[in-house]
Structure 1
């Protein structure tokens, strides 16, 4: 077992043998996946980024000091979502949403989204220029309860924090519009994502009609 010490600034240096074991070479990005029970999985991200690109992201942010892991992550996220605009209640056309569904979910039958959005507490779209690249809907019971639905991002834009931006903004808007409880159903592999957005696990039931 290898032990790594975290500095007061939140930095940690991985030993050479750990990097070699993981197949991570100098200049490569590292991916950290948060798992249940306080565990995490570390692996090579497999991206094409370089330390030169990372240095560009951090330019002007250091002021001669060592950045914490949190500050580095924030800078990377900020760079990754540059040019992405989150719009509240943009009412995308059926063509836009059906195209997004095909990209995000694969097999999909065209739907009429107008009736769905008309009954929503809110919905949010993520746009790269005119292109809709992410979406989340918040349904409501007309009272205290609201429900996160249809969170999705196009495959080419995943890993940039867009889904997190959408859900966090949906939480804020739902609260501002009077919801007291916000619910979400998700598949097991999305548990860490929604926990990171502030949701906690509860018992629930589901029946297909």
Structure 2
């Protein structure tokens, strides 16, 4: 006998008349865990097969993995991969991404092993900027309405190869501009060279 909560989820799939008493469970829940025995009730005839019981264990969905994990370079494109845990054939996982970083390209596909288990995989291409440093990136896998997810914190570092030189020319100030994925704070000031009337312009760029 099974509880009311199993109606519509527990299905007898075997042919009892041929001695096959197989059944399937859809949308498994923690309460489904336990010991089961097959029982027949047909009018006055009732019988339980107590010598051949079935043990059912229900575990949490394994979290997907995100790779590679490590330092990202601001302005340098990279492909990140979310790999779901292998699932039985026909149980396809749907992968979605969440986070502040802009996803430029996404490619979802499946890989089947010799045992028939299917692994859902999603590749995304991103070009991180320093604004995404320490922001979360989440990969979620959904199987028949049940979801599991995994998150990483982006470590975006700035590799700044340029050098900026400013030379003071009296009454002339030249501004040099450039584009960079890095974030800088700027400080501008005039510093006296000596006790005379000469001044030097100092422009400081500090990486944040």
- TM (norm. structure 2) is 0.24
Q: Quick check: which one's helix share is greater?
A: 1
- TM (norm. structure 1) is 0.24
Q: Quick check: which one's strand share is greater?
A: 2
Structure number, greater radius of gyration: 2
Structure having greater relative contact order (Cα 8 Å, sep ≥ 6) = 2
